[in-house]
Structure 1
């Protein structure tokens, strides 16, 4: 339903969302892995106008240097990366999150290299004073020799079954992109069996390859040049995953839409497909934290064109042609 107002320029635009009892005054945040490696970067996101939250770098139990060599490159339609989970350890990000959780609702992201890693970190978080949302990253495509857990539906179920025997804080999962309708059905059947607060979809499109035309070499070094694709090239896949999961997941499981955001219309489209929050990766990497305020104002402009003054009015309202 559209709401038409006169003197639209005088109407305040509402861009809020709620997940697991936490209210976000703005709907934008960083994608895990971008501008969140150090406390200095996290501070910039925390203080950036237009950013409603932040997610920490996906953490492993111990510090990791990540993959060696050139591991990120911009390309015409976005970016390609093979970072390999560089991070400063769970304890580093947990300490930061506890110190700043009164400022905004925060997401603490973890990405163990094994089921035991994940369960160990969840136990540490459960025992801590952290009062926020936890993102269990089941979708890192760039660790050599480690498959994406999110493509193994039985293992995903096993991890969540064990986690929810002891973990009582708001928990969500970061998912890889799915490319088959049957896989939407299969992952939703798993996720709907658990009291998840949210899903974050998508992580980068795994194992693409791009060539540097000047040197006839791969654009990045790790894994022979294979890396995750982000930016504009990922938008159709992101929209499909947000839409496909919103149609299948329990309504209480909220969705963070990630992938392909360059401007306010991209944010609008992810919300239209069902996203509650929208995170920004490649464009944030390219522009820095000022991108949030730009995107917020561009989204507001798009909403005024459509005669909306609240993102709730068009969230999940994509129309089809059949």
Structure 2
């Protein structure tokens, strides 16, 4: 039985619904090329700021014992938006794999986001923009995604500048009222056609038992949690927005994917595409081929021929 893993995001076709989580294997051109050559269905760049950033001091990423996930406080290390704009200008949009390009922007202010969005608008490229409102690891910079008023004001400025379908990267929400408030904001903007849920769960603390020391250096060891331990939070956010967003708006799931099983669960919760972060960091780009194979086997065993057949159809008691 042939299984169709293709999907469409922001009107752009992806040959399969898997891609990297922004921030993993996507800071430099050689890393992005590895994603092009992998079995991913698309790729997204590292979240860009106006100017290049080295990010927080090392060590700033660590896997957690027992393969339950990871902790990081990267601090937005990136090459500056012009580096990714140039990459987008030279990207082969007719590549044989049929992969589209997503560009992530994470200005440290609304003015920065405005400048970057204007530059991409003026370049008029077929890449898809994602504005990151959820950077939990930049000291002194709160997440816009947790300030509903600031988020709506930012979209009022950025939506007409971008002027075509784009998405938003979101932090995890933990209160039903926040799901309601955020979705109501996104539903006001026709160009906001997808949200990516979730960025890492902010400000966890992992401590090594033997040395009695925090695992990472920045922020006194506080960092964003990712990997398998955040799966239930990711699924809740995916499903919450799947239920609340207007028809035509989609959710990209991110968080907790180690195998085809978790991808299946993200789709069941409502995801139209699924990103892999921690597991990509630990395993490398071969993860896409493995997870894709596992997903096909699972769907075949359940009798599903396409992801559309079970998207958002999680049963409740």
1:303 to 299, 306, 309: 299
Alignment correspondent of 1:34: 24
Secondary structure of residue in 1 paired with 2:233: helix
Structure 1 unaligned segments of length 5 or more: list them.
Answer: 1-10
Secondary structure of residue in 2 paired with 1:257: strand
Distance 2:209 2:88 in 1: 43
Is 1:71 equivalent to 2:60 in the alignment? yes
How far does residue 214 in structure 1 lie from its aligned partner after superposition? 2.1
Distance 2:305 2:221 in 1: 45
Q: Does the 8 Å CA contact 1:203/1:259 hold for their aligned counterparts?
A: yes
Q: Does the 8 Å CA contact 1:35/1:42 hold for their aligned counterparts?
A: yes
Normalised by the length of structure 1, the TM-score is 0.95
Q: Does the 8 Å CA contact 1:98/1:131 hold for their aligned counterparts?
A: no
How far does residue 133 in structure 1 lie from its aligned partner after superposition? 0.8
How far does residue 251 in structure 1 lie from its aligned partner after superposition? 1.9
Q: Which moved more, 1:126-135 or 1:77-86?
A: 126-135
Alignment correspondent of 1:147: 142
Distance 1:23 1:244 in 2: 24
What is the alpha-carbon root mean square deviation over aligned residues?
0.9
Alignment correspondent of 1:61: 50
Alignment correspondent of 1:44: 34
Runs of 4+ with >3 A deviation: none
Is 1:177 equivalent to 2:175 in the alignment? no
Alignment correspondent of 2:75: 84
Alignment correspondent of 2:108: 113
Normalised by the length of structure 2, the TM-score is 0.96
Is 1:251 equivalent to 2:247 in the alignment? yes
Distance 1:40 1:169 in 2: 29
1:129 to 112, 124, 127: 124
- Count of residues paired in the alignment: 310
